């Protein structure tokens, strides 16, 4: 039998709970702590040790995972426990801004702790399954050292480099894509409803639109990286015209069009700059 690394998990919201469960399932002796200790009950039944304080939880393991609401909460929990962190590794899987990750890495170094930042890009039900997607950044040697334990979380883990803010930077860009797409989806269904189109009627066609995105993403990324802004496939002027129809229809139907107006304003900036014949890659320069 191999000995599994002892792990501490701070934070037992839905995600922290799933992480602790994955470590337990994979045979890691696991200590947990949460502001609301009652959330540990099921984990304790499965063999986790519930620490009385965050400092006790940190002291219990060389590898400490924190996954709470945001970086402010990370510091609220760990600032008072900082002495216990000395000589240990903190892996912060809390979502946040890249700058907050860099500052937390510097704070950890100041207090003699090793620090790896991470981002979880998939929902809780993917943890400990092949569908989990995790991103990490920080010292490469640290990632390699803790990889066998972190593998308990399942799925694909990608190490993105030594800048501790790089995982969070990827996460923020990906969440930008996701949530602005979701805002567009919510608006599309509201607009359809105003035109007496039910959710069930629009959904199959809406999924077809979603399926266009992967090739649009590949094409956009390649053009951006190559500095190619020509409108050989589609132009900014054409897209601005489509957006104008969306805004007009929404406003006729009494549906708020604030988000779509903001998008139209971006496209129009390029048109006003004489770039209406260029492709949408050009828009990056207007951001």
Where on the chain is the footprint of ligand NAP (CB under 6 A)?
11-16, 34-36, 39, 67-69, 73, 76-77, 94-95, 120, 123-124
What values do phi and psi take at 151, rounded to 5? Answer: -60, -20
- Tell me whether residue 11 or residue 276 sits nearer to ligand NAP (CB atom): 11
Q: Which residue's CB atom is positioned nearest to ligand NAP? A: 13
- Tell me whether residue 10 or residue 280 sits nearer to ligand NAP (CB atom): 10
- Tell me whether residue 14 or residue 210 sits nearer to ligand NAP (CB atom): 14
- Tell me whether residue 121 or residue 240 sits nearer to ligand NAP (CB atom): 121
- Tell me whether residue 124 or residue 259 sits nearer to ligand NAP (CB atom): 124
Q: How far is the CB of 249 from ligand NAP (least distance, A)?
A: 34
Q: How far is the CB of 172 from ligand NAP (least distance, A)?
A: 11
The count of C-alpha atoms lying within 13 angstroms of the C-alpha of 50, restricted to the half-sphere facing its C-beta, is: 16
- Tell me whether residue 22 or residue 95 sits nearer to ligand NAP (CB atom): 95
Query: Which residues, in sequence order, are CB contacts of 35 under 8 Å at separation 6+?
Result: 77
Alpha carbon distances (Å) from 4 to 50, 95, 116: 18, 27, 20
Query: Which residue in the block uniquely carries the two structure tokens 């620490």?
Result: 51
Helices (H), the chain: 14-25, 41-45, 54-59, 71-78, 82-85, 98-110, 140-150, 166-194, 199-226, 236-252, 258-272
Report the DSSP beta bridge partners of residue 135.
119, 158
The count of C-alpha atoms lying within 13 angstroms of the C-alpha of 226, restricted to the half-sphere facing its C-beta, is: 9
């Amino acid at each position: 039998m191999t000995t599994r690394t002892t792990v501490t998990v701070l934070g037992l919201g839905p995600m922290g709970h799933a992480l602790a469960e994955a470590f337990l399932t994979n045979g890691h002796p696991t200590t947990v702590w949460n502001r609301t200790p009652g959330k540990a009950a099921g984990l304790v039944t499965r063999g986790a040790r519930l620490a009385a304080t965050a400092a006790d939880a940190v002291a219990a393991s060389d590898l400490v995972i924190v996954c709470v609401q945001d970086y402010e909460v990370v510091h609220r929990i760990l600032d008072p426990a900082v002495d216990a962190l000395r000589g240990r590794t903190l892996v912060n899987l809390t979502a946040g801004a890249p700058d907050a990750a860099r500052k937390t890495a510097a704070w950890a170094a100041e207090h003699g702790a090793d620090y790896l930042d991470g981002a979880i890009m998939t929902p809780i039900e993917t943890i400990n399954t092949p569908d989990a997607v995790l991103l990490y950044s920080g010292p490469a040697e640290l990632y390699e050292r803790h990889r066998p334990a972190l593998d308990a979380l399942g799925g694909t883990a990608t190490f993105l480099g030594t800048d501790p803010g790089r995982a969070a930077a990827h996460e923020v860009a990906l969440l930008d894509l996701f949530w602005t797409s979701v805002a567009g989806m919510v608006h599309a269904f509201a607009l359809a409803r105003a035109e007496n189109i039910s959710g069930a009627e629009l959904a199959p066609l809406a999924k077809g639109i979603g399926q266009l995105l992967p090739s649009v993403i590949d094409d956009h990324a390649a053009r951006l990286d190559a500095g190619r802004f020509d409108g050989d496939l589609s132009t900014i002027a054409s897209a601005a015209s489509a957006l104008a129809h969306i805004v007009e229809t929404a406003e006729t139907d009494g549906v708020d069009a604030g988000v779509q107006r903001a998008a139209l304003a971006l496209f129009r900036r390029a048109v006003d700059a004489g770039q209406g014949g260029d492709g949408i890659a050009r828009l990056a320069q207007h951001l």
